[in-house]
Amino acid sequence: MITTHSPFVARALPLGSGVILVKSGGITEANESELIKKALGWGALDKPILLCTEDSKANEMSELLRQDGDIDNLVSVFPFNGVETLGHAPVLADLRRKLGGHHKVIVHRDRDCRSDDEVADWRQSYTNHGIEPWVTDGSDIEMYFCSPHYISTLYGISFSDAEAAIESVINTNLTKLKSEFLEKRKQINKRYEKTGGSPSSETLMNDWHWSKWVKGKTLISKIRDWAKNAGYDEKLIGRSDENIVTAIDLIRQLYVIAQK
């Protein structure tokens, strides 16, 4: 069978079908029909879970999903350019309805130095419309690749050595990291604490684990510098690894959603 520009035929192919893609005058053989579906624009909406992420580039999210093949096969990722551009809950609920009401929608945003109460406030706007919110446990999605567990397993060093290395990196860059946190809290206070009842930023920094207030996007680059100087392959940081399970909170939530 030969078809041109017909996603309907490609969509009907059973998994494992032998397919050949002719593109730009060349022939590309594929072992799985998914490759052809994607080439014809299908695939994303075939999956039951649509994950909207605030990140314009979903590299880190894709790496986290790749840890679990079963979950990866159920989730399509839709990147947005910043949290302010994420679809509002009523819009996403209406989109789900127009797609037939079969998809489950989950929205990701980074914690970005918010307290649990402030995170709960953001969540509520989505749960009220049946949209699943997911907020990173640490300051942002990059923080999952900065944990002592991840670094120790990635490079085959002890947990305590990895923890000491990360804390050393934080202390070396403390002025910058602290400045980023205080600036972020100023923005949060303007939105959530207009009456001036915000907890002291210094108090939060002392009470929280560093993973909650240190900016992961900054920390991960500094840890890569440490890894390179220590003789490790710094390019591995940020990639999934078969021996590492990170972002367990995300994987667990996706399994719960898939079973609903």
Are residues 224 and 106 both part of a single domain? no
Q: How far is CA 96 from CA 65, 250, 253, in A?
A: 22, 21, 19
Are residues 28 and 49 both part of a single domain? no
pLDDT tops 90 at residue 88: no
**Comparing C-alpha atoms, which of 7, 39, 11, 28 is closest to residue 19?**
28
Q: In what helix (H) or strand (E) does residue 222 lie, and over which residues does it extend?
A: helix 216-229
Q: H-type helices in 50-105, by residue range? A: 59-66, 69-72, 89-98
Are residues 159 and 232 both part of a single domain? yes
| pTM listed for this prediction | 0.80
pLDDT in tens, 36-73: 555 555 556 778 899 999 988 889 999 999 988 889 88
Which residues make Cβ contacts (< 8 Å) with residue 104, sequence separation at least 6?
48, 49, 50, 132, 257, 258, 260
CATH number, domain at 117?
Answer: 3.40.50.2300
Are residues 38 and 49 both part of a single domain? no
Residue 57 is given by DSSP the state: S
Domain hosting residue 22, numbered range? 1-43
Are residues 188 and 217 both part of a single domain? yes
Three-state SS for 165?
A: helix
* Total tally of structural domains belonging to the chain: 3
pLDDT in tens, 216-251: 999 999 999 999 999 999 999 999 877 788 999 999
Is residue 15 exposed (0-12), middle (13-18) or buried (19+ Cβ within 10 Å)?
Answer: exposed
Separation CA 83–CA 74 (nearest Å): 23
Are residues 48 and 33 both part of a single domain? no
Q: Judging by DSSP bridges, how do beta strands 26-30 and 49-53 pair with one another?
A: unpaired
Angle, alpha carbons 153-155-157 (nearest 5°): 75
pLDDT at 258: 92
Are residues 167 and 222 both part of a single domain? yes
Residue keyed to tokens 């600036």 = 183
pLDDT in tens, 144-193: 999 999 999 999 999 999 999 999 999 999 999 999 999 999 888 887 66
Are residues 170 and 218 both part of a single domain? yes
**Comparing C-alpha atoms, which of 239, 221, 234, 123 is closest to residue 180?**
221
Separation CA 220–CA 214 (nearest Å): 10
Are residues 117 and 49 both part of a single domain? yes
Residue keyed to tokens 């314009």 = 56
Q: Which two tokens stand for residue 124?
A: 């509520």
Is residue 69 exposed (0-12), middle (13-18) or buried (19+ Cβ within 10 Å)?
Answer: exposed
Contact 132, 147 (CB under 8 A): no
Are residues 250 and 229 both part of a single domain? no
Are residues 108 and 163 both part of a single domain? no
Are residues 19 and 51 both part of a single domain? no
Separation CA 136–CA 248 (nearest Å): 10
pLDDT in tens, 106-155: 999 999 999 998 899 889 989 999 899 999 999 999 999 999 999 999 99
